[in-house]
A and B are shown apart, each in its own frame.
Chain A
Amino acid sequence: MILTAEEVRKIAALARIKLKDEEVEKFRKELSVVLDYVSELEKVNTEGVEEISQVTGLENVLREDHAKLSEYRDAIIASFPERKDDFLKIKSIL
């Protein structure tokens, strides 16, 4: 499985990581190695097998959904990278 530079750029855009040109080439090679490695899985017959993602058999763990005051408000605001008063500051969207 050989990825193209174009594919790597597309994934990087999806993952919101800016890559330098040399990084595109580095990850193109390395991701191809990983995809090659996992391609052996094709040999396992999984016809009629249901996928699993929760291995201890839990289903729908529910709890009451009610609001409560956070004790962390000020500490969270204090850790904003940029702020104006108590507001989180970001760059322009447009």
Chain B
Amino acid sequence: MELAFLEISELAEKLRNKEISSVELTKYFLKRIKEYDGASGLNAFLTVTEEEALAQALEADKILASDPHASVLTGIPYAAKDLFSTKGIRTTASSKILDKFVPVFDATAIEKLNTEKAVLLGKTNLDEFAHGSSTETSAYGPSKNPWDVTRIPGGSSGGSAAAVAAGLVPFALATETGGSIRQPASLCGICGWKPTYGRVSRYGVIAMTSSNDSPGTIARSVKDLAITAEILSGHDLKDSTTSVKEIPNYAANLRSDLKGVKIGVPKEYFIPGMQPEVEARIHEAIAKLKELGAEIIEVSLPLTKYGSLVYAIVTPAEISSNLARFDGIRYGHRSKDAKDLLDIYDQSREEGFGDEAKRRILTGAYALSAGYYDAYYLKAQKVRRLLVNEFDEVFKKVDALVCASVPNVAQKIGNAKDNPLFGYIADQLNIPASMAGLPALSIPCGFAKAEDGDAIMPVGLQIIGQQWGEQNVFNIGHAYQTITDWHKKYPKGYGE
């Protein structure tokens, strides 16, 4: 039975029809993980929770047998980025400082999926503390892109993206701060949803940039993203930035035409240096949206180029504050050589953090330090206000924006190392929406030949909505997927 590349709704139907049990499905995907992952494989998983998964699957099967109204996610296997706290299951953030860390509670997103009786198969690799865009800053080595294993899967949610792209799980939890869902989804040829800031609870997600961090999902179709969005969204008393706004029935509301929908194409997102073949794919996708009935309007967002610069200040600043808690005192790595209290701090952090985390902590500490705060942090937050205003203005004219997710296809592993600007440049088309808290998708829209080799790699279309405008972006993405089949393609060598 061909199961590896089916969508959630297709697998759910098979579970309901008793064509397969959750235990069988779980064993099937665990077997695929054994076959294709591991250090010599994709290195998408840091921890595989076989025993716990089989117990969860058994429980899901009981519910499926007795409850005809069981949730669509009941019994469906998934993976979670190793930034989500999982009770009793090692959670590393891909950092040596948390190498042996076992959380005592579940993140709210994990708890919600537990309530639905989804089945957690394991924890996926990421850039250390989500600082990066290639998974190369992981303390456990980079994950690989299933379309060409010499290339990056993108990041920071690269393990989640590689796992879904290779059919090792039907969907995965991921997080975004500035591109960490959209960029890897684009580079791996699958779908990613970055929610409106505050739509999904951050509770239990190891913090990076608290004013941006947005947990979301990576899956095979927009419909699957909508299914997970309905479940993951909502107010949480443990995260005071979550919204009490109603959660639409995203999946049931999906439309297959775009009549009356106004879509803006921001000209500043077609940047110099963009790969011509990527640009061509985006124009082809826009033509499809027009075919579906959308009105296409060229718009201008002149501040776009400053998004990454704002991010390059605000993010390290918040990181330097958020990572202060990893001090070797209460949990995590403590230096064996510390002689006094100050040594515990200084040495545990020196030994525990990788280069990228150190670089961001130091950059942030500098931007926040006496005498520099106004010139860096305050200035960045003022420009951020202007970015927000600019988006507000454009959304008076259009329902959503479309552009490329990433200006180039996946690069070779190794390019990010020692380039302190790699992430800021790789994610430049994702960051402005992040700084404004907007919801966005990346969906596959074709392929392009890599400029540094012969590999044919996936290209992603980015769809950006206004705050709380998830339904609009899902509708556009879904309509596109009713007349195209790019989201049904999967890499060679991972079939049955």
Could you list which residues of chain A lie within 8 angstroms of chain B, going by C-beta atoms? 3, 7-8, 11-12, 14-19, 23, 26-27, 30-31, 33-35, 37-38, 40-42, 44, 46, 49-56, 58, 61, 63, 72, 75-76, 79-82, 88, 90-94
- Given known A-B contacts A40-B306, A88-B330, A49 and B362 have beta carbons under 8 A apart: no
Bound state CA distance, A8 and B361, in angstroms? 12
When distances are taken between beta carbons in the complex, the residues of chain A under 8 Å from B363 are 31, 34-35
Q: In the bound complex, do residue A46 and residue B382 qualify as a contact, i.e. CB atoms below 8 Å apart?
A: yes
Chain B nearest CB from A9 CB (Å) reads: 10
- Given known A-B contacts A33-B421, A51-B381, A90 and B341 have beta carbons under 8 A apart: yes
Within 8 A of A (CB), among B329-360: 329-334, 338-347, 349-350, 353, 355, 358-359
When distances are taken between beta carbons in the complex, the residues of chain B under 8 Å from A49 are 382-383, 385-386
Chain A nearest CB from B39 CB (Å) reads: 27
Q: In the bound complex, do residue A38 and residue B381 qualify as a contact, i.e. CB atoms below 8 Å apart?
A: no
When distances are taken between beta carbons in the complex, the residues of chain A under 8 Å from B486 are none
Q: In the bound complex, do residue A40 and residue B309 qualify as a contact, i.e. CB atoms below 8 Å apart?
A: yes
B-side interface residues, number (CB < 8 Å): 70
Q: In the bound complex, do residue B104 and residue A76 qualify as a contact, i.e. CB atoms below 8 Å apart?
A: yes
Per CB-CB distance, the 3 closest pairs between chain A and chain B, nearest first, are A51-B381, A81-B334, A55-B437
Q: Is B328 an interface residue (CB 8 A)?
A: yes
Chain B nearest CB from A38 CB (Å) reads: 5
Partner of A31, one of B211, B324, B362, B435: B362
Q: In the bound complex, do residue A38 and residue B376 qualify as a contact, i.e. CB atoms below 8 Å apart?
A: yes
Bound state CA distance, A26 and B378, in angstroms? 27
Other A-B contacts than A55-B384, A76-B104, 5 sampled, CB-CB below 8 A, are: A11-B362, A17-B350, A19-B358, A34-B316, A81-B334
- Given known A-B contacts A34-B312, A55-B197, A46 and B379 have beta carbons under 8 A apart: yes
Q: In the bound complex, do residue A79 and residue B384 qualify as a contact, i.e. CB atoms below 8 Å apart?
A: no
Chain A nearest CB from B474 CB (Å) reads: 19
Chain B nearest CB from A34 CB (Å) reads: 5
Looking at chain A's contact residues, is the secondary structure mostly helix, strand, loop, or mixed? loop
When distances are taken between beta carbons in the complex, the residues of chain B under 8 Å from A17 are 346, 349-350, 353, 358, 361-362
12 pairs, A vs B, C-beta closer than 8 Å:
A3-B366, A17-B346, A17-B358, A18-B347, A19-B358, A54-B241, A63-B240, A72-B105, A81-B329, A81-B330, A81-B333, A91-B338
Bound state CA distance, A82 and B366, in angstroms? 32
Partner of A41, one of B320, B380, B436: B380
- Given known A-B contacts A8-B362, A38-B313, A79-B104, A56 and B334 have beta carbons under 8 A apart: no
- Given known A-B contacts A38-B312, A51-B385, A80-B331, A16 and B345 have beta carbons under 8 A apart: yes
When distances are taken between beta carbons in the complex, the residues of chain A under 8 Å from B361 are 15, 17
Chain A nearest CB from B102 CB (Å) reads: 7
When distances are taken between beta carbons in the complex, the residues of chain A under 8 Å from B338 are 91
